[in-house]
């Protein structure tokens, strides 16, 4: 709002004939682009509807002068499924291709558990667990990892006790520990003046060596697949499997 992005976005849509006034409000003619009804973007009292910011955000990501995005990927909750129509209409109104320049993923609900009991997330009760609450409880790394390691098509169960623990049952700790061990090997090799370029790879002849090498060889294809499928959980599971082979 402060940068004028909302006004610019509305001006662009108005120039394209997709904005009109009715009942004292300003409307986006989203039905012209496949939505089931037109949407208010400026209310009759002069305040912006939430959707106005969505329009400005998309325009900025896709049509800004510096480094515009090829595709805007949105993650919506399962309770926002009805939002898809207006979002895709907005994409089309800017001359883009819905499903190509805009992709919408529908994620399932996140359940936060502590001491074996759910932490209530009822809006009516006013007991909402925010991302700040989650970070305060288990830290940034564990918060990111816990949300990324589950397929967005499945409900996410976050066990606060588990993710705050320093045990091998904690996937975050398990992966971080493998990384710490590998960094320690690098430091020891450097201290011993061992150059990996001149290393004798024939010494890597044990079954355990083979498992780690095979796992590492999967990384490029796995990363590409995870990106193409919008499936970051595949990366998380790969890291856990790699950590298991390494340990």
DSSP string, 103-132: EEEEE--EEEEETTEEPP--TTTT----HH
**pLDDT of 127:** 63
Q: Are residues 95 and 26 part of one domain?
A: yes
**pLDDT of 218:** 97
Q: Are residues 100 and 25 part of one domain?
A: yes
Q: Are residues 90 and 146 part of one domain?
A: no
Q: Are residues 97 and 22 part of one domain?
A: yes
Per-residue pLDDT of the chain (247 residues; tens, 9 = 90+): 778 899 999 999 999 999 999 999 999 999 999 999 999 999 999 999 999 999 999 999 999 989 999 999 999 988 899 999 999 999 999 999 999 999 999 999 888 888 888 876 545 555 677 888 888 888 999 999 999 999 999 999 999 999 989 899 999 999 999 999 999 999 998 898 888 888 888 999 999 999 999 999 999 999 999 999 999 999 999 999 999 999 8
Number of domains in the chain: 3
**pLDDT of 111:** 86
The two tokens of residue 247 are: 């340990």
**Domain residue limits at 131:** 110-163
Q: Which of 57, 59, 44, 53 is nearest to 13 (CA)?
A: 59
**pLDDT of 104:** 97
CA dist., res. 53 & res. 72, Å (int): 15
Q: Are residues 99 and 182 part of one domain?
A: no
CA dist., res. 68 & res. 66, Å (int): 6
Q: Are residues 116 and 62 part of one domain?
A: no
The length of the chain in residues reads 247
Whole-prediction pTM: 0.81
Q: Are residues 41 and 79 part of one domain?
A: yes
- Give the SS3 label for residue 121: coil
Q: Are residues 114 and 91 part of one domain?
A: no
The two tokens of residue 144 are: 């990111």
Q: Are residues 148 and 96 part of one domain?
A: no
**pLDDT of 131:** 85
Residue with tokens 């049952």: 169
Backbone angles phi, psi at 33, to 5 degrees: -125, 25
**pLDDT of 125:** 52
Residue with tokens 């079954």: 207
């Amino acid at each position: 709002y402060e940068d004028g992005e909302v006004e610019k976005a509305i001006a662009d849509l108005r120039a394209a004939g997709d904005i009109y006034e009715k009942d004292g409000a300003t409307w986006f003619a989203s039905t012209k682009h496949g939505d089931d009804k037109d949407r208010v973007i400026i209310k009759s009292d002069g305040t912006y509807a939430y959707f106005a910011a969505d329009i400005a955000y998309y325009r900025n990501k896709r049509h800004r002068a510096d480094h515009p995005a090829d595709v805007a990927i949105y993650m919506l909750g399962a309770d926002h499924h009805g939002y898809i129509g207006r979002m895709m209409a907005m994409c089309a109104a800017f001359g883009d291709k819905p499903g190509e320049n805009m992709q919408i993923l529908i994620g399932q609900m996140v359940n936060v558990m502590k001491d074996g009991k759910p932490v209530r997330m009822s809006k009516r009760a006013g007991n909402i667990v925010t991302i700040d609450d989650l970070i305060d409880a288990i830290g940034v790394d564990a918060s990111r990892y816990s949300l990324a390691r589950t397929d967005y098509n499945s409900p996410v169960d976050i066990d606060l006790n588990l993710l705050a623990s320093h045990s091998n049952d904690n996937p975050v700790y398990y992966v971080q520990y493998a990384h710490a061990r590998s960094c320690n090997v690098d430091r020891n090799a450097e201290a011993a003046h061992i150059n990996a370029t001149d290393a004798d790879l024939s010494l890597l002849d044990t079954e355990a060596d083979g498992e780690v090498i095979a796992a590492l060889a999967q990384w490029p294809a796995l990363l590409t697949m995870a990106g193409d499928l919008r499936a970051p959980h595949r990366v998380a599971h790969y890291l856990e499997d790699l950590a298991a082979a390494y340990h």
